[in-house]
Structures are given as structure tokens and as C-alpha cells.
Structure 1
Amino acid sequence: MGGTLKYWQCSRQGVVEVADADAPRPDGTWLWVQADHPTAEELHAIADRLGLHPGAVNEGVQPHARTIQQIHGDQVLLAMKTVRYTSGPSVSTSRVVLIVGGSVLLSACFDDQDPVTPAINRLVGDDEPREHGVWDGVYSVVHEVVDGYTSTSDAVAADIVRIEQEVFSGRRVMVLEPIYGLMREVLEFRDAVDPMVSIVTDMATRQATSRRFRDAQHKVKQTRQSVASSEQLLTLILDVHSGQINLWQNQDMRQISAWAALIAIPTVITGVYGMNFHWMPELRWSWGYPGVMVLMVVVCVVLFLNFRRRGWL
């Protein structure tokens, strides 16, 4: 088999790992099936075994499944994007699929970003009573996903501050590539966060665990606001930095023009005398050569001081 399966029996008394989905379940107990890196065939097989709707599985196993909540009869599909932020910057997204049917919760993770294991650990150590069945498990996973959004938002904000400090440091540092890179990652982050707002809001309205989902709703709304602020701030920093680059280029052009003017004066004078016409009175003056040299030096010094006064050099 390509993936691994774990089975957990959950109740108010606690969470216990069992060997198989067919293990006897006491009254008031619901089953959590944790699928790690399953193939589509394996997920269909376990869903069929648990009596879950095949349409939910079809939607959940799409390689680029979007964040979505779907109702299939009395069953619910919830596909979410998890987010992890690393320096670079890089926002990597993954997906976790939850299918709720009766007293069964099937969760599936498809790569190394696994919010399910810490969610189960959270459920094990949760001080609040586990009295809402499978929705306690759903909330636990949603909480882990939203916490990932919050930590990513904080990391993005820290990187924006670092770039902002570089832009306003007064040094001629080109940071266009980091700005564009971070803007690209923030867009990917926004694509993961935005759909979750309506989903968590719906859960906070409809589910028995509404009080707990309202906490996740508050966090995901804060994260969306933070992402919007990050986009606006990055746009502002990009505008300022683009203005800085234009200023630097203008300064460079003025310096180049000033030095070209300084070089042009002796070049013109030596060019004229390099024509070697016979009737050039200065050629026969005893002070002709020193006079021309002094003239070139004086003109260049006057130009240099003028350019320096104007800030060109």
C-alpha cells in the first residue's frame, strides 16, 4: 500500500488507537480514520468500507483540489489548504481532506504537512469536554490549519519589516527581487486563506461546536486582514523603491554627464591643436603651450566646482 492508516476511537472519556475500523465500538464512541499519503484507490477503498459518499472522495483526491465545503446527503466534505512558510521566502501549500459521515471522520493528508497528527494529540489533551462527536475532531484539525495561517502571517510580516528596513536604510541596495518574490508568496498565501473565511463562518453558524469554531473564525479573519495589509504594504514599498531606483539612475546619469563634460574640454582643445595648421599664432608664442594647459585646467576646475555645487558630482 502507498499510504498508512490509523484508527482512533474517540469518546468523552478519551481517544484510543485501535487496530482496525471493525473493532467493537462502545456506545457514544466515534471513529477517526487517519490516512497518511493515501493513493486515490486506497482512499476510495476505505471510504467504501466506511460507507462514505464516493462523490466526496472524488472531489477530495483531485491533485489540485481547491478549498471547499460540500454536502453529500448527510455527509460533509471539507478540503483545506495547509500553509508552511520558510525563508527564501517560500510559501508551500498542501491539502488535508476531511469527510464526515455519521459517527465516522476520515482524514487524508497527501504530503509532509500534516495537521492531523497534532490535531489528534490536541484532542487527546483537550481539557474541554469532547461532547460534540466527530465535529470535535473537525474543529481540532481546522484549529491546526488556522494556527498555521497565523504563524505564516507573522513570518511574512517579519520579512516585510526586514525588506522595509533595507529600503529605508539609506544605502543603495537593490531589493526588487525579494519584494517581487514576497508578493508572489503572499498571493499564494491569500489563495489559501480567503476561501477558509466563509467555510469557518458557516461552521461557526451551523455546527454544534459553534463557540469553538467562532474562535477559529476570528483568527482566520484576522489573518485575511493581515494578508491584505501585507499586500498593500508591499505595493507601497515597491513604489518607494522604484522611485529610489529612478533617483539613483538620474544621479548616475548626472555624474556621467558631468564627467563627460569635464573630459570634453581638454579633448576639444587638444583636437583643435592637433590639426597642425601652419597659421596658428599660438604655435609660435613662447607661452602658448603653458597658456593652453592653464586654460584647460582652469576651465575644468570651474566646471568641476560648478557641478559639485549643483550636486552632480
Structure 2
Amino acid sequence: MIRNLRRAVRRAYRRTVDLSHPARSPLGSAVVNCVGYTDGVRQAGSCPAEEALRRVRKENSADPAGSSFVWIGLHEPTHEEFTGLAELFGLHPLTVEDAVNAHSRPKVVRYDDTLLAVFKTVGYAEHDQLTATSQVVETGEITVITGRDFVITIRYGRHGSLGPLREALETVPDQLTKGPSSVLHAVADFVVDEYLAVADAVQDDIDAVETAVFSEHAGRGEAGRIYQLKRELLEFKRAVSPLNRPLESLATQPALLIAPEIRPYFRDVSDHLARVNEQINEYDSLLDSILQAHLAQMTVAQNEDMRKITAWAAIVAVPTMVCGVYGMNFEHVPELRWTYGYPVVLGVIAVSCFVIHRGFRRNGWL
């Protein structure tokens, strides 16, 4: 079932528009969607949160075993916009604070009868060629607040739209019948799957840098590209690593707001997250090795230059010394008045330079 859901998400992403921008919201500046679900089936039409919640609770009161709930999707709400929802659903003040203030650390916290989950989203920033200033990953945030008969998703950032995820879930009514915890699992699974996709894309950048470093025409600018990749990888790691413990808690610890049938699925998501963490650590180690290799290449190249400069300085020292002796204008300089003195001195200089040059060539200095 989870595999089918993942395929449905990919198909939905290919055929739907991004619902992330507030201008596309039919219900207000922050509310992207507000829909009720009964027995896993979406209720017709959209309505204000008060009306949707009234309908859902009326259905649940008529059928105690019912699984009706309302799902409200928000995009970057202000404190004023979220206050009304907080009062309607009776949210804890700390839940409101975490929901409205972005840049929270990934976590899962229970407040009274609600469960707050914060996920960091990561998207790959497309670029034609990696440079020392290229952005490789871009981060955002998704907060999921679940109760017995409602789920509120709040998204920050320009990527990671949940519209396709909602459509994909609606094609699997059996999953939605498990209640709000099924949405929480779907969001967690969606976020971690994006981690895997970004990790694969980053690997392509690392492979390109590695190939450039070990090519014959490697330049000094490769160090900047490697350092930029390490900075972007650190940003990636900050989003992924703190999520380990929250996912483990959802998979292993009993929670009244997590359906027992959903809990095993969180173990699958946790396994995928562990794989991403391993990839990030491997990438970091590989970039360290590539950087060290590049610095070693630069050191070897500089040594080669210094050896050549030293060799030519030694060769030039011979004529400099001889010319310096004959330039002192002493009266009794050897062979000063000899007819062949000038060509003989030039010949000695040429032969000496040739012998020194040949010696350096044999030793690989030139």
C-alpha cells in the first residue's frame, strides 16, 4: 500500500500545479485547502474551518467508530491568521508558537490531546554548473498538528507543496480511514523521500567535482567549489539529522494519537532516514578526501614551479658570476688581452650552462 502511495505522489507531482503560493488559495491569504474526510473519502466542496469541523464532529458523534476528520492546509500564516484556528481547535499556546514561528528544530511533541511534528524540507536547487557560490540545497519547513478529528499542515518555503500528496492520499481511501495519523505518516514519508532525491542529486555534483579535481586541467578554483559543497551539505545535515529521534519515537513509543496500524510504517520511514544520514556522512568524508587530494595537487604543482625556478636560477648564476668577475675592471684579469679570451669565456659559460641544464633534466627538475 505504501509503495502504491509513493507512486501516486510521483504521478500527482507530474500532473498538478504547485499550490504553495498564497495567491492560488481560494480560501484566504494563508489557507490553501480545508476539506473534510469521511471513511477515507473526501467530502464535496471546500468550506470554512468552523463548518468543516462541525460536520466532522456531527458525523463522529452519530457513529462513535467513525473516522471522519478535517484536513486544513496553510502556507506561511501570520500570527493573526492562525489565532482563530488555534481557538477553534483548542491548541496549546506552545503549539501556536511553534506553528507560527518557522525555523524550529525537527521534533515531535505532545500537547494535551494534540501532537505537534516539525519537519525540515529540503529541495535541490537546479544549476547548470556548480560554482563557488552556487546554491545546492534549499530548505523549508512543514509543521503537522494532529488531533482526534483534525490535522493541520503548515508549510514554509517555496518548495515541497503538499497538494500532490493530498491528491495521492485521496486515491488510497483505506489509508485515510486510519485518521489524522495517516496524514502525519504520509507527510513524514514524503519529506524523507525528498531527502533521498536530493541526496542522489548532490552525489552527481560531488562526482562532477571529483572528476574535475583529478583531471589534467584542474584549476585553483576547485577548492572553492568543494568548500561550497561542504557548506551546502552541512545545511542538508542540519535538516536531516535532528529528525532521527522524533521518527524513532513515533515508530516505537505508544501514542494515543497514532493509530496502531500506522506505527509500523514509521519504522520504514525511519529506515529511509537512516540511509540518508549514512549518505550524508559518506559524502562529507568523500569531500574531505577530495579537498585533501586537491590541496596535495596544488602543493605538488607549487613544488614543481619552485624546482624549475631554482634550476633556471642556478643556470643563470654561471654567466652572472663570470660576467661579474670580468666586469670589475681589474688590470690583471686572466686572459684579458688574449685574442681568443672573449670567445673562450663565452664557450665556458655555454658549456657550463649546458652541463647544469642536462643535470637538472635528468633529475626531473626541468
Q: TM-score, normalised by structure 2?
A: 0.80
Pairing partner for 1:176 from 223, 232, 244: 223
Q: Residues 12 and 131 of structure 1 are in contact (CA less than 8 Å); yes or no, is this contact kept in structure 2?
A: yes
2:47 to 11, 19, 22: 19
What does residue 45 of structure 1 align with? 84
* Map of 2:271 onto structure 1: 218
Identify the residue that residue 274 of structure 1 maps to in structure 2: 327
2:350 counterpart letter in structure 1: V
Instruction: Indicate conservation of the 8 Å contact 2:226/2:291, yes or no.
Output: yes
1:30-109 to 2 correspondences below 5 Å: 30-86=69-125, 87=127, 88-109=134-155
Quick check: 260-269 or 91-100, which moved more?
260-269
Deviation at 1:130, TM superposition (A): 2.3
Alignment of 1:119-130 (within 5 A): 119-126=165-172, 128-130=174-176
Q: Quick one: which of 294, 297, 303 aligns to 1:244?
A: 297
1:165 and 1:127, CA in 2 relative to 1: closer, same or farther beyond 3 A?
A: farther
The aligned amino acid for 2:166 is I
Q: CA 1:44 to 1:223, structure 2 compared with 1: closer, same or farther past 3 Å?
A: same
- Alignment map for 1:137-216 (pairs within 5 Å): 137-174=183-220, 175-205=222-252, 206=254, 207=258, 208=260, 209-216=262-269
8 Å CA contact retained: 1:115, 1:144: no
2:352, 2:135 → 1: CA distance?
A: 53
How many Å apart are 1:118 and its aligned residue? 2.5
User: 2-side partners of 1:240 and 1:128: how far apart?
Assistant: 54
Measure the CA separation in 2 of the matches of 1:301 and 1:166: 38
**8 A contact 2:102–2:141 mirrored in 1:** no
Q: How many angstroms apart in 1 are the aligned matches of 2:166 and 2:345?
A: 91
Identity %: 33
AA aligned to 2:84 is A
Q: 1:143 to 1:279 in 2, by over 3 A?
A: same
Query: Could you tell me the TM-score, scaled by structure 1's length?
Result: 0.93
Q: Distance in 2 between matches of 1:196 and 1:301?
A: 69
Q: Which moved more, 1:180-189 or 1:271-280?
A: 271-280
Gaps in structure 2 of 5+ consecutive residues: 1-27, 61-66, 128-133
1:112 Cα offset (Å): 0.9
SS at match of 1:281: coil
- Cα–Cα, structure 1 residues 179 and 83, in superposed 2: closer, same or farther, change >3 Å? same
The 3-state SS of whatever aligns with 1:298 is helix
Contact 2:71 2:150 in 1 (8 A): yes
Alignment of 1:282-301 (within 5 A): 282-301=335-354
- Per the TM alignment, residue 128 of structure 1 is displaced from its structure 2 partner at its CA by 5.0
Structure 2 residue matching 1:282: 3-state secondary structure: coil
Moved more, 121-130 or 277-286: 121-130
Q: Deviations over 1:153-191 (max 9, x none)?
A: 111211111122122224443311111111111111111
Task: Give, in whole Å, the separation in 1 of the partners of 2:354 and 2:171.
Answer: 81
> Aligned with 1:132: secondary structure?
coil
Pairwise mapping of residues 297-308 of structure 1 onto structure 2 (< 5 A)?
Answer: 297-308=350-361
C-alpha distance in structure 2 between counterparts of 1:235 and 1:106, whole Å: 42
Please tell me whether the aligned partners of residues 81 and 93 of structure 1 are also in contact (alpha carbons under 8 angstroms): yes
CA distance in 1, matches of 2:135, 2:156: 23
Q: 1:256 aligns with which of 309, 319, 326?
A: 309
Q: Hey, what's the Cα distance between the residues in 2 that align with 1:171 and 1:73?
A: 62
Change over 3 Å in CA distance of 1:15–1:303 after alignment to 2: farther
Root mean square deviation, CA, Å: 1.8
Aligned to 1:8: 35
1:29 is matched with 68
Residue range with higher mean Cα deviation, 6-15 or 140-149: 6-15
Structure 2 partner of 1:265: 318
Bigger CA drift: 179-188 or 44-53? 44-53
C-alpha distance in 2 between matches for 1:222 and 1:76: 26
